[in-house]
Structure 1
């Protein structure tokens, strides 16, 4: 494992992020977080003894995760049958996706093999629900996930538009299938984690080149529905920012029929900036709307005074990503983002009329609430994995 980490550290130093003066100093922390992430996947890699794993949180990141989402994973096999029980939290969007664990197993994005999303998720009046999963087709049964050949895990996305919302609690058990095999030893788990790391690291170098840097800097293309590798019920748009200390990037978009709209910036390592202590992301529920109902976010290296300041935490170049979830109709073209790069001195003129600004006192108050809400979210989750949510 240590040899693989050392090899990757030398290799990653030559990438776009490794050569960028703002990102290069983050290499050690990035590689530690990716290694942690892969080690958790390896430790949870038993379809015979399923557990609900919480992964993709600060300190264990890959793939530019959504700061508003609690990601949980259950390792599965079509050779077994499972029962997942839960109590619905108050989040804006909850989905259960079957995939083949592509990043760590094949060095590519996931192949999505099935999805259970609201409103198809049947929840009892008391907030509890039961989901079955196995090799058999649903054939009209509610809350059943088909595990076709190649299925390797169930990925749960629990997305909170408002950080005061509570994540869903989950538990899983195997209820039938092939005989259970012996648990792997520590050496085998370490080798598996190293293999996952070697597979995933090159992927997360390629993806921003393919999806973000393919567009000119300081632009965002029209939003598109995601499928392969992403959430099937979601629209996204991806790009990059490149700013001096005295510039800002204004991004204005509409929510449409989505239950969740979120905008974030991230590192060229394809991970998040510190979103607990900095507003490197804001949802429409956290942001203040314009008078016309749209939302404007302002990326700037220093506080521009705008209510929806997106803080890149000292980075002059990085990635942008916007997500719409829970749509009841296709996203209308006029809800896609409009992007303008301006001098900070000219910011007001670049914003829609009446776009909100805040005082320094209000900024500090919101920052304190943000930290408290994130800490509360973490406190509701058993770390790092649980069978009983």
Structure 2
């Protein structure tokens, strides 16, 4: 396991990303990508705005599919981080791998499992315990089959823990996850609410079996699975986004099913498609937390990735935002800088998708006042529209805010 400043930068992760890069450059995968590219552009029929961000987002989604597809062998499981930003590794440029309406706060890791085998997950919690951390057991269609809340982990005095994983009931074992038939993989989320000081948990996986009955998957099988994943990623992304885009524009009415399609139990997701009519118009969003300890508002494009999230404020969580005196939050989404602290910057795109997330509720249930109220206003009338106590930035504060933001994220990309 990796300690120190970047717990996800393990030898296993480094080897896997370089392996994924070699497969990504394989002639069969290059040709398959072009087929998916043509299919997706025709299938999604993007606007000019969404077409303008397709090329880079497409590469991230396809590389993300490659990274994920290469960690699907339950006899040779690895703890692999997915949905990362582009970074350097051993002199190579590793593409980004964001996909699936990613949450920039989350470090996502996957581990393949099978109910016929026994496993042991070893780890160490961060010194500053995370606001949210879940070990979700998925079936093959991303349906939730089991769940362990990181807050329920039993750890020793140094923060170390072990999780037993097999088909049997716990029978008194602490930190146990039962794996029923049909189980496919763990999808582990560590939510980094404070980008600067939070760190992911350390994790490692061990297969508790004699010598595996077969060697790891070979090249032909890996190539076939990568092609399948790339096509599936494109189809699934469009299907998910249609849930918002088929509804009224600039409205937030669709609540995601939390037991399918990879959504997390114990969260509320409200999703909407926005379109700003011009650069002089802003969308104002008033958010009531409903007792949630965690909240984030990330902007994504129709290709399923967030946009610019380190050097620009393409997402804001509760820690990064300024609250109103009554505990609510007001955000302004606009193409031009509105001068408020809580600016959701759409990265020069006049349309996109907002997937608002609330989680970690008092008494494990959201309050009746949870919700969002949105309205379009002219930027030159923003001061009249907003409450008088809203935080307006002074000269130089935006640059400072963004510099601190980029610096706080940098550890995740350290080599």
Question: TM-score, with normalisation over the residues of structure 2?
Answer: 0.85
Q: What's the CA shift for 1:364? A: 0.6
> Is the contact between residue 313 and residue 345 of structure 2 (CA under 8 Å) also seen in structure 1?
yes
Q: Which residue, out of 126, 141, 148, partners 2:180?
A: 148
Q: Residue deviations 1:349-383, cap 9 Å, x none?
A: 3323411111241111111111111111333xx7x
SS at match of 2:145: strand
Correspondences of 1:118-129 after superposition (within 5 Å):
118-129=150-161
SS at match of 1:272: coil
Displacement of 1:271: 1.2
TM alignment of 1:33-182, pairs within 5 A? 33-58=60-85, 59-89=96-126, 90=128, 91-102=130-141, 110-164=142-196, 165-176=198-209, 179-182=212-215
Kindly state the Cα deviation for residue 180 of structure 1 after the two structures are TM-superposed.
Answer: 3.4
- Alignment root-mean-square deviation, CA: 1.8
> Which residue of 1 is the match for residue 34 of structure 2?
6
Q: Residue 293 of structure 1: SS of its match in structure 2?
A: coil
Note if contact 2:133-2:151 (Cα within 8 Å) is conserved in structure 1: no
Q: Deviations over 1:39-68 (max 9, x none)?
A: 111221111111100001221121111000
Deviations 1:246-302, CA, capped at 9 Å, x for gaps: 111111112233231111111011211121111010111110111211111110001
Structure 1 length-normalised TM: 0.90
2:259·2:265 contact (CA, 8 Å) conserved in 1? Answer: yes
Q: Could you report, residue by residue, the CA deviation over 1:1-34 in whole angstroms, capped at 9, with x for unpaired residues?
A: 2332111211222244x53111213222222112
Counterpart position of 1:27: 54
Answering whether residue 317 of structure 2 is matched by residue 283 of structure 1, we say: yes
> Number of paired residues?
371
The answer for unaligned runs of 5 or more in structure 2 is 1-28, 86-95
Secondary structure in 1 matching 2:245: coil
How far apart, in 2, do the equivalents of 1:222 and 1:83 lie? 38
Query: Who is 1:226 aligned against?
Result: 258
SS at match of 2:209: strand
How has the CA–CA distance of structure 1 residues 353 and 101 changed in structure 2, closer, same or farther, with 3 Å as cutoff? farther
| Equivalent residue in structure 1 for 2:392, among 357, 362, 373 | 357
Hey, what's the Cα distance between the residues in 1 that align with 2:211 and 2:291?
44
The match for 1:327 is 361
C-alpha contact (below 8 Å) 1:65/1:272 kept by paired residues: yes
Q: CA separation in 2, counterparts of 1:334 and 1:256?
A: 5
Partners of 1:99 and 1:154 within 8 A in 2: yes
Rounded to whole Å, the distance in 1 between the matches of 2:312 and 2:283 is: 17
The offset of 1:140, in angstroms, is 4.6
1:80 counterpart SS class: coil
Tell me the SS of whatever aligns to 1:215.
Answer: coil
Task: Please point out which of 245, 248, 251 is paired with 1:216.
Answer: 248
Q: Structure 1 residues 193 and 228 mapped into 2: Cα distance closer, same or farther (>3 Å)?
A: same
> How far 1:143 moved relative to its partner?
1.2
Match of 1:238 in 2: 271
Structure-2 separation of matches of 1:225 and 1:32: 28
Q: Offset of 1:201 from its aligned partner?
A: 1.3
Secondary structure class of the residue paired with 1:138 = coil
Task: Write the distance in 2 (CA, Å) between the matches of 1:64 and 1:177.
Answer: 39
